[in-house]
Structure 1
Amino acid sequence: MGILMAYMFFGRGSAKQSAGGAAIIHFLGGIHEIYFPYVLMNPRLILAVILGGMTGVFTLTILNGGLVSPASPGSILAVLAMTPKGAYFANITAIIAAMAVSFIIASILLKTSKVKEDDDIDAATRRVQDMKAESKGASALSAGDVTNDLSHVRKIIVACDAGMGSSAMGAGVLRKKVQDAGLSQISVTNSAINNLPPDVDLVITHRDLTERAMRQVPQAQHISLTNFLDSGLYTSLTERLVARTAPQHQRRESTRPSERQL
């Protein structure tokens, strides 16, 4: 959390712009994987992660804090729900202390960074995807990997387990890009995997859920990702959709004069 806050104040480019939303997802949603690309852009930030973690554990030990059972996902809401009555002060103090230490260290490292170009969060996210895919012996999927014809795509669904939260935000990002590109004939919504309709043309979901989605709607095309806020993937997909639908639009325009003559 401290690292994301440091990017909000001292980051550059798209990393700074996206850090606020990522912090909300991290803190309230408990999806800690979302800060990985930010560390990958500046590996020195691992020091902030280590020192922040050490501070949190030390504070919990001194104040005798802890949980009655694991908090999953690691949202602040889940942490508070699993906190025993006498440990609220200790747990909240540990969270604030860890956040403060990681924020201070990350801020110093970001301000003293010699990297002059804008931080590219999209490129870093794709690197995380590639690294995770390689560790599993697979290659990462992206929008560019969809080689089938996209000209028929009219219904896109971003899907996850519950059909809320991260998939809803991902659908919002893609929907805006599709609308800005003038693709009014394409609808973008979010859904739970078990509720995917049979008429969907393209399904976007987390890599770990793609097999389930393919069993649910095998006739649709599928794209896997590891970050539902991967703006780069959505941009690439939108460009592909524009390129695929442009020939159809040109053909319709070319037939209009002859239709008027008739």
Structure 2
Amino acid sequence: MSTQTVMEQTAVSKSKPSTRAKIQAMGGFLTNMVLPNIGAFIAWGIVTALFIPTGWLPNEYLAKLVGPTITYLLPLLLAYTGGRMVGGQRGAVMGAIGAIGLIIGSDIPMFLGAMVIGPVGGWVIKRFDNLLENKIPAGFEMVINNFSIGILGFILLLLSYTIIGPVIEAANEMVTAAIKALVETGFLPLLSLVNEPAKVLFLNNVIDQGIYYPLGMQETLKMGKSIYFTVASNPGPGLGLLLAYTVFGNKISRRTAPGAIIIHFLGGIHELYFPYVLMKPLTIIGVIAGGMSGIATFQLFDAGLVAGPSPGSIFAYLALTPKGNFLGIILGVLVATVVSFLVTSLILKLDRKGDDEAALTESIEKSKTMKSEGKQVFHQSTADAAAKKINKISFACDAGAGSSALGATTFRRKLQKENIEGIEVKHYRIEDVPKDSDIIVVHKNLYDRTRLSFENNEIITIENYIGDPKLVKLLSDLKEQ
């Protein structure tokens, strides 16, 4: 990395965080309310797929589990988790108290409400505890702690039942009506115009966990399935793009895309194809076309899933496909793949500017320059591996369970291969990265968001989780260390 680049990155770190970074942070927060509870959502999806009247094994007695689970258990889990993220265990209890008021006062599953009231409850009790910190007389801690949650929880319960719940229910009905109108007019595929660019900018979790999953759960309760689970999670568009790069890309992309295909399509980590779109922004047209054609196919066959596929792999898709929907789901993924492949291939063949040897040579020279700049700038760019002992490297991403896990595992194996010991390499969601991390590794599009939480830590920004030059440089410096 050049001195100029270092100066530019430093300037960025001191500037006001971008709107995109703040939205990414919000999406990450929503994701981390949902991810710990995905198992419960899948359990509910399996019960629904099996025992409702149109399921694989219709059973009137066992089907009674479906309604109460989605009405009470799932929203309470979301609110409990959200409250805990903000205010610890006491925040979790406050979040659950607030959520039950929403649930009792509403006629719909309160997923959106739970995602709001949980963090609010956690924030309220956290603020209260901060105000009384070091002010509670000895021996009265338990009494004050219990009664504070009791009294504040009582107030939040009343507010959520009488005011907050109805407001959220009205907002939910507005969003639902708007999207249903889109479905009835046949324009649902147009959602890809928003979904695909948002995914590439790492805003996919805001859309999926914040909008489509709650709507999908509500529809599944009535219909036994929902197309909303498929509109942003279809692995087909990304697969088609990676296949096009495998066939028509430059030498680097042809070498790396096949590995990305396996992780994306089978592992469900969609972040793997984002750098390929960013490499040639015009290819976003290919994934948009693939997404639109996939949604149109799902609509044509009236196909849907019983729960949100997380991660969005083909295995999750097939596991959550209800009876009678396999043809539509498989064709939706296949059509999206073919369309994305054809459009992206055409773009790559027409735009050859970055596919010649000059581009490859430039990348190699850039890596050499980064390495030759030495230890004097490495402290500011790639965490000063030569100047100080590196003990902890943290890979971070939006949810801490996808691309960061892949990056950490890959880099850890490279350290083992080089017999480099004593360095802890783990993966986290951005906000959970330990403050004592010597190096934080994130995708370049998540740099601003990372700086929101880590103003003084060294951050390495990468573009690709497989063979990125900066990770090669870091490994080389660790070998010298």
- TM category, shorter: 0.5 to 0.7
Distance 1:106 1:223, change over 3 A: closer
Letter of the aligned partner of 1:24 in structure 2? I
* Structure 2: gaps (5+ residues): 1-238, 364-378
* Root-mean-square deviation (Å): 4.2
Partner of 2:136: none
1:184 equivalent in structure 2: 420
Match of 2:381 among 141, 144, 147: 144
2:344 matched to 1:106? yes
Deviation, 1:5, is 0.8
Q: Are 2:269 and 1:38 equivalent residues in the alignment?
A: no
TM-superposed deviation, 1:171: 3.3
Q: What's the counterpart of residue 82 of structure 1?
A: 320
What is the rounded CA distance, in whole Å, between the counterparts of 1:205 and 1:51 in structure 2? 29
Contact 1:26 1:32 in 2 (8 A): yes
The structure where strand makes up a greater share of residues is 1
Q: Secondary structure at the match of 2:325?
A: helix
Pairs aligned (count): 221
> Does the 8 A contact of 1:154 with 1:185 survive in 2?
no
**CA drift at 1:238:** 3.1
1:117 aligned partner, one-letter code: D
Residue pairs, 1:96-175, within 5 angstroms: 96-115=334-353, 116-117=355-356, 144=381, 146=383, 150-154=387-391, 156=393, 158=395, 166-175=403-412
Which of the pair has more CA radius of gyration?
2
- Give the Cα separation in 2 of the matches to 1:178 and 1:56: 41
Unaligned runs of 5+ in 1: 124-141, 246-262
Kindly state the Cα deviation for residue 110 of structure 1 after the two structures are TM-superposed.
Answer: 1.4
- Give TM-score scaled by structure 2 length: 0.37
**Paired amino acid for 1:110:** L
* Structure 2 SS opposite 1:151: coil
What TM-score, normalized by structure 1, do the two folds share? 0.63
Change (3 A) 1:163 1:50: closer
TM-aligned CA deviation for residue 190 of structure 1: 3.8
Q: Which amino acid aligns with 1:114?
A: R
Matched, 1:59 2:320: no
The one of 275, 286, 290 aligned to 1:48:
286
Note the alpha carbon deviations across 1:117-175, whole angstroms, 9 max, x for none.
Answer: 3567xx8xxxxxxxxxxxxxxxxxx9815358743124545467998764453235434
Q: How many Å apart are 1:19 and its aligned residue? A: 0.9
Task: Tell me which residue corresponds to 1:259.
Answer: none
Whole-angstrom distance in 2 between the partners of 1:52 and 1:161? 24
What corresponds to 1:253 in structure 2? none
Residue number in structure 2 paired with 1:133: none
Conserved in 1, the CA contact under 8 Å of 2:394 and 2:428?
no
Aligned AA for 1:184?
A: I
- The residue identity in structure 1 corresponding to 2:260 is A
**2:248 aligned with 1:10, yes or no?**
yes
Q: Which one scores higher on RCO, CA 8 angstroms, separation ≥ 6?
A: 1
Report the equivalent of 2:473.
Answer: 236
Deviation at 1:100, TM superposition (A): 1.0
Query: 1:143·1:236 contact (CA, 8 Å) conserved in 2?
Result: no
Structure number with higher helix proportion: 2
Q: Structure 1 residues 48 and 148 mapped into 2: Cα distance closer, same or farther (>3 Å)?
A: closer
Question: Contact 2:309 / 2:317 at 8 angstroms: preserved in 1?
Answer: yes
CA positional deviation for 1:222: 6.3
Task: Give the SS at the match of 2:324.
Answer: helix
Q: Which residue of 1 is the match for residue 260 of structure 2?
A: 22
Contact preservation (8 Å) 1:177, 1:234: no
Pair 1:202–1:44, CA change in 2 (3 A)? closer
CA drift at 1:11: 0.9
Task: Report if aligned partners of 1:204, 1:223 keep a CA contact under 8 Å in 2.
Answer: yes
**Structure 1 residue 185 displacement after superposition:** 5.0
- Secondary structure in 2 aligned to 1:85? coil
Aligned to 1:92: 330
Work out the CA distance in 1 between the residues paired with 2:328 and 2:242. 23
Cα contact 2:415–2:421 (8 A) shared by 1? no
CA shift in 2, pair 1:191/1:47, >3 Å: closer
- 1:225 deviates by 6.2
